[in-house]
Amino acid sequence: MKAGVSEIISSGKFHEFLKFQTRFHRYSFSNTMLIFMQKPEATRVAGLKTWNSMGRKVKKGEKGIRIFAPLARKVENEDTGDEKWVLKGFRAVTVFDINQTEGEPLPELAPDLEGDTQNGRQLYNELMEAAPVPVRFGETGSAKGYYHTIDKEIVLSDNWSGDELTATLLHEVVHSIVEKDPPKDQVDRERAEIIAEGATCVVAQYFDVDTSPSSFGYVTGWAKGDIEKVIKLGSDIQKAAGELIRRVEKLSEKIKVA
C-alpha cells in the first residue's frame, strides 16, 4: 500500500488530478437545483471552453444545462482610487455534463475495476455470508455503496457487477467491522476511509483479487497525498484486514466441514 501510494505521488499523477479538479467549480445550492431539475443524472458539469481545454467536445445535438453565473466589474473608490470587484448581478450560462461530451479521457485516481473473475465472485459470496451486518441492494445516490452506522446495514448499488461490486462490498464490510459510531469530523472520516480501502486492498490480494488500480488512488486521495498518514494507519489497516480474513476463512472451513 505504501509503495502504491508513493508511486502515484512521485509519478505526478496526484498533482495532475488536483489540477484537473480545480477546473470544476462548486456550484451554489440554487445552481445545483437547476442542474438537478434539468439533468438529474449529471455528475460533472462544465462550460464548453473548459471541456475543449481538456480535449473533449460536446456531442452533436446535446442540449445544454442552463445555470446562473455572477456578473462582476471593477469599481474605483472615489476617495482612495483603489479598485475592487463588485457583484452587479447574474446572467444565464450553459454547461454540459461529462456524458454529453466525448474525447480525451479525464484523469482518474481510482478507476473502476474491470473484469468478473472467478476469485472475485467467490470472495463476493463469502463476504455476503461473513458480513457482520445485513447487506441489501438499494438507492445509494452517486456512491457505489455505503455502510449505515445508525441502521447497521450495508447498501449496495445495483449498477455495478463483477470485481468492482466485490471491491465495493469488501470496502463496506471493513467499515462495518471497524466503525462503531459515525465519524465525528472530517479528520475522522479521512481516517476511516484510508483504513477501509487499505484493508480492502490487503484482503483482496490475500484472496487473489487485484484491487490495487483503484485502491492506491483512493487511499492517495483521502490521504491528500500525505504518505505519512498511510504509514501511521498501517497497523489499523493490518488489524482490520486480519479480522476480516479470519472471518472469511472461518466461514469457509465451516462450509467444507458441512
What confidence score (pLDDT) does residue 85 get? 81
Separation between Cα atoms, residue 174 and residue 239, nearest integer Å: 11
- What ranges in 131-211 are assigned the alpha helix state H? 162-178, 186-206
Task: Give 36-50 pLDDT, tens digit per residue.
Answer: 889 888 878 989 998
- 98 DSSP 8-state letter: G
**Rounded mean pLDDT, 236-244:** 95
CB within 8 A of 130, min separation 6: which ones? 173, 244, 247, 248, 251
Residue 258 has pLDDT above 60, yes or no: no
Q: Which residues pair with 57 in a beta bridge?
A: 102
Task: Give 146-174 pLDDT, tens digit per residue.
Answer: 999 999 999 999 999 999 999 999 999 99
Q: Which three cell numbers stand for residue 185?
A: 469530523
Quick one: pLDDT band at residue 24, thresholds 50, 70, 90?
low
Give the CA distances from residue 173 to residues 95, 126, 196, 222, 243, in Å, rounded to whole numbers and listed in that order. Answer: 38, 11, 8, 18, 11
CB within 8 A of 198, min separation 6: which ones? 1, 215, 219, 230, 233, 234, 237, 240, 241
Pairing of strands 83-97, 153-156: unpaired
Residue 78 has pLDDT above 80, yes or no: no
- Radius of gyration from C-alpha coordinates of the chain: 22
- 26 vs 110, residue with greater confidence: 110
| Burial class, 69, CB count within 10 angstroms (exposed 0-12 / middle 13-18 / buried 19+) | middle
**What pTM was computed for the model?**
0.70
What confidence score (pLDDT) does residue 68 get? 93
What share of the chain in percent tops pLDDT 70?
A: 95
